[in-house]
Amino acid sequence: MLNDLSILRHPALLLLSLLLAHVSSAQTATANPKKFVPGEIWLDTQGKPINAHGGGMLHYGSTYYWYGENKAGVSWLPEANRKWDGYRVDVTGIHCYSSKDLYRWKDQGLVLKAVPEDPASDLHPSKVVERPKVAFNPLTRKFVLWMHIDTADYQTARAGVAVADVPTGPFRYLGSTKPEGADSRDQTFFVDDDGKAYRIYSSEWNKATYISLLSDDWLRHVGRYTRAFIGQGLEAQAVFKRHAKYYLIASECTGWDPNPMHAAMADSIWGPWHELGNPCTGPDANTTFGSQSTCVFQVSGKMDAYIIMADQWHKSNLADSRYVWLPIEFEAETPRLEWLGRWELRIFDWPHGDAVTRQ
Ligand code: GAL
């Protein structure tokens, strides 16, 4: 039988026990439900890595719902995408997690599933289903999900929509469209205080950002739109409102590789948009801390508390991509982001003392 001392006499056992201690402390750190650790593996309440990439956040009732791409299985590089390293995993569906406190996430399963039996379906595993965003329409009492639908070579560029009666689905897929007769790739979905909803998306081969008004049921584009950031090549849009100003966060277009973040502000969703440059500061600001924006949401019950969600993509192993969530600071009207190694929601309270570790 082994006792503590016998471990010291067996170098292999010693190494193994050190390794196990390291793994278990790493797991404790990532599973600890009381802090955010950007870039680490984040576990759900069953101890499984959260799988919700390019995601969005809905706050409904007293619960947060996090929707994202389920990136499962092997990443591979289709011949057509070789030039730009366009790795993919086959589509499995949109994953949803729920939480009361933003730290502990309960797996609600795939709320929109791939359709393997129909190769023509937008949801066939061979397609692209990305950047899902969900909002609740109080008029129809439906949960509306908009997403980027594409073929594996990203040449089809459509906007897909689905609805559900409850936030945890299942969502019923209604089809896809080429809004305003143009292409639609990376996208987000923004609901204003007056209940009007807009899709904001990369169009014209990513050379312009389109902002389109949706119908009252939020299921159709009504034909009123504007073209913004023309010639800039932006994507990964996230839109939010603070103190009557509209903010748009976006990335540049470099596939899965990170690049500098862009921010802009406007008095109206239609613009004109006043550019604010890159809100990130400090080391790795030029690569958005190795990540790409996907959504900004407000923390319920806290004053002026906005969190940005971003993805740290691992292109040759997309399933291992990580999450970077950071609090947005505002210097007057200007957003600022700095890397925080660990942080807690108490950062939004004052004084926040030890709620943050910078490294
Ligand atoms: C990025 C985009 C991602 C995904 C990726 C494919 O530019 O933001 O959502 O489409 O390209 O390489």
Domains of the chain listed by start with CATH number: 48-357 (2.115.10.20)
Q: Tell how far the Cα of 97 is from the centroid of ligand 1, in angstroms.
A: 22
Looking at ligand 1, which residue's alpha carbon is closest to its atom 12? 255
Q: Where does residue 52 fall: left (phi above 0), alpha (psi -120 to 50 degrees), or beta otherwise?
A: beta
- Greatest CA span in the chain, whole angstroms? 77
Distance 313 CA to ligand 1 centre (A): 9
Residue 48 DSSP code? P
Q: Which of 53, 253, 256, 313 to mutate to test the pocket of ligand 1 (most atoms within 8 A of CB)?
A: 256
Instruction: Give me ligand 1 centre to Cα 242, in Å.
Output: 27
- Alpha-carbon distance 59 to 55, whole Å? 14
Q: How much is the pTM?
A: 0.91
Q: Are 250 and 293 in contact (CB under 8 A)?
A: yes
pLDDT of residue 196: 98
pLDDT at residue number 228: 98
Question: Rounded distance, CA 59 to CA 126, Å?
Answer: 32
pLDDT at 18: 44
Which residues of the chain, if any, have pLDDT below 70?
Answer: 1-33, 353, 359
pLDDT, residue 359, reads: 67
Taking CB atoms within 8 Å and a gap of at least 24, the contacts of 105-111 are 105/42, 105/44, 105/45, 105/50, 105/66, 106/44, 106/45, 107/44, 107/45, 107/46, 107/48, 108/65, 108/168, 108/169, 109/168, 110/70, 111/67, 111/145, 111/164, 111/168, 111/169, 111/170, 111/171
Pocket perturbation via mutation, ligand 1, pick of 235, 253, 315 by most ligand atoms within 8 A of CB: 235
Query: Which residues line ligand 1 at a C-beta cut-off of 6 Å?
Result: 54, 86, 130-131, 186, 235-236, 253, 255-256, 292
- Helix, strand or coil for residue 292? strand
Question: What pLDDT, on the 0 to 100 scale, is given for residue 26?
Answer: 44
Q: Name the closest-CA residue to atom 6, ligand 1.
A: 255
Spacing, Cα 128 to ligand 1 middle (Å) = 10
311 φ, ψ (degrees, to nearest 5): -115, 130
254, burial (CB in 10 Å: exposed 0-12, middle 13-18, buried 19+): middle
